[in-house]
Structure 1
Amino acid sequence: MVKLLQPLVRYGYAPLLLLGVNGAGVALAASGANKLWLLGLLVVAIALSFAAERFLPYEQAWNNSHGDVQRDTAHTFVNETLILASVAVIPLLAALAPGDGIWPTALPFVIQVLIAILVADLGVTLTHYASHKIAVLWRFHAVHHSVKRFYGLNGLMKHPLHQTIEMAAGVAPLIVLGLPVPVAAALSLAVAVQLLLQHSNTDYRVGPLKYFLALNEGHRFHHLKWAGIGDVNFGLFTLLWDHLLRTHSYDPARRFTSDDLGMAAKPDYPVEYLAQLAEPFTRRGA
């Protein structure tokens, strides 16, 4: 049974989340449905992510806890709450923004969501890039690079201050443009789905799209533990900006294990949740 499902997972899992879950989210947001339905879709996406990792793991050992599940669950809960809260405060922030905005509300809703994704992708990618170059930002971003395995919850395994900075960089230009709340709600779901796919332990395939979409095949290279080697593939949704920054890297022959991940310069980085929140403020966090 498992072997029969593996080809379906290999080629169907990514389209199911990218088109199916996101598509349902777009339809619900466009119809003005209660945002709790979007939260329900996120729960479905998480369940699908964990199921796919069991049916078709990239690395079997990564399906086993490394003593990190409770910590990563805490990171996910806090940071997903921040994402949802950002949607809730958009009307207030929009009221403070100068002018009436120039958001293209006449365009089909799905096109508006795609525009929001591309704009947010640019802001997050540049902030991510800067976080590898500017010491004070790296202190907070290092939390994310302490992971020793790839699986669904890694995507939101971030220091909440760094998560807030990335969100602000991605969403602030959209608010100035007049981003409608329903589009923001669909975008928030798309971000969560993307992070699940980007850090998934599922050995899925997307063909040539791996050179354009920021998914797990390319993002593993970003988590290589050696200084400078992992300064590639910064994109959240796409690799467009990485191609322009000349930071795209991919080697189809490369295989990854836990020995390749983490930070070579900080092998003893704290693993507990509260210790990771405090680490950037210590001398060791420098």
Structure 2
Amino acid sequence: MILIKILYAPAILFGFNAAAIWFFSMGAPHWVLAPMFMVALWISFSLERYIPYAGEWNEPHRDRFRDIAHFIVNESANVASVLALPVIAAAIPWRGIWPHEWSLWQQMLLAVIVADFGITIAHYYSHKWSIFWRFHAVHHSVKRMYGFNGLMKHPLHQAVEMLAGTTPLVLSGMPQDVAFLLAFAIAIQLLLQHSNVDMRIGPLRFLFALAPVHRFHHLKDAEEGDVNFGLFTTVWDRFLGTAVYDRDRKFTSDDLGIGKQPNYPTGYLAQLFKPFLRQ
């Protein structure tokens, strides 16, 4: 069992992304990523039951329909934005500087590095600027952490993060294949970042923003929770001075949520309208 706890995160992170790159290099269609992600989701959900970090987080908190709705809406938006990439590229009056001659894995790695920086900075300021926090608060209202939480975002805030992370890539001429691989990598990362699997990541915590690191970010009090903003890595948190980790810290549902808004709405439609209401 301890071996599964150690191998879970690197196997999902590197295994599925490597498989996606290989399939694309062999000329596979873009839709192959959908069943691949469903397999990753099934493995994650199965291990959450078999080796959970917190047993209570496996039980619905009146959030099952809401989380599925967030998943469907936000993933559909992600796919639609990638499908629209050729139209967007055609509207840009220059070819860009994208290194098309690089191998596919090198192009994907470049996209991940650039997106990680942009999304991390947008995430950081979403905790500093009230207008952004109104929308980002939807994500922080969770009272348990499990695989679906990563995509539990207000669609407008997801759009802000994605624009921050991908605009430089689009302007530089990122091809559609790389965009699909990046979207897949983000989905896999969000799955691992919020997973309820009792994973043991060891030295990986110094580089990757996986669940044992990201749980600190969901602490309900801002004094503790305004840390570990990274999407893929902890690199930018170290520059920002917001990297925190304590392997002895244990988390329960009582630690999560929004301290100043304990009664934040839990329904899907209520969460969509909440940012527009008077605070």
Which of 131, 136, 153 is equivalent to 2:131? 136
Which of 44, 49, 57 is equivalent to 2:52? 57
Deviating beyond 6 angstroms after TM superposition, the runs of 4 or more aligned structure 1 residues are none
SS at match of 2:23: helix
8 Å CA contact 1:98–1:176 kept in 2: the answer is no
8 Å CA contact 1:223–1:230 kept in 2: the answer is yes
What residue in structure 2 maps to residue 173 of structure 1?
Answer: 168
Cα distance in structure 1, aligned partners of 2:158 and 2:277: 19
What residue in structure 2 maps to residue 109 of structure 1?
Answer: 104
Which of 25, 29, 33 is equivalent to 1:34? 29
Cα distance in structure 1, aligned partners of 2:219 and 2:226: 9
Structure 2 residue identity aligned to 1:128? H
Cα distance in structure 2, aligned partners of 1:197 and 1:77: 18
1:212 is the counterpart of 2:169: no
Structure 1 residue 29: Cα displacement: 2.3
Aligned residue pairs total: 279
Structure 1 residue identity aligned to 2:151? L
Cα distance in structure 2, aligned partners of 1:173 and 1:89: 16
What residue in structure 2 maps to residue 250 of structure 1?
Answer: 245
Range with greater deviation from structure 2 (144-153 or 103-112): 103-112
Which of 153, 157, 171 is equivalent to 1:162? 157
1:224 is the counterpart of 2:219: yes
What residue in structure 1 maps to residue 40 of structure 2?
Answer: 45
Structure 1 residue 227: Cα displacement: 2.1
Percent identity of equivalent pairs: 53
Question: Where do 1:232-243 residues align within 5 Å?
Answer: 232-243=227-238
What residue in structure 1 maps to residue 74 of structure 2?
Answer: 79
Cα distance in structure 2, aligned partners of 1:17 and 1:93: 32
1:271 is the counterpart of 2:266: yes
RMSD: 1.0
Deviations 1:228-267 (A, max 9, x none): 3211100100011000111111111100000000011000
What residue in structure 2 maps to residue 3 of structure 1?
Answer: none
8 Å CA contact 1:32–1:182 kept in 2: the answer is no
8 Å CA contact 1:14–1:204 kept in 2: the answer is yes
Cα distance in structure 2, aligned partners of 1:98 and 1:31: 31
Structure 1 residue 93: Cα displacement: 1.2
Structure 1 residue 143: Cα displacement: 0.2
Structure 1 residue 7: Cα displacement: 2.2
Deviations 1:9-44 (A, max 9, x none): 201211221111111111122333111111111111
Structure 2 residue identity aligned to 1:113? M
Structure 1 residue 107: Cα displacement: 1.3
What residue in structure 2 maps to residue 70 of structure 1?
Answer: 65
Q: Which structure 1 segments of 5+ residues have no match?
A: 1-5
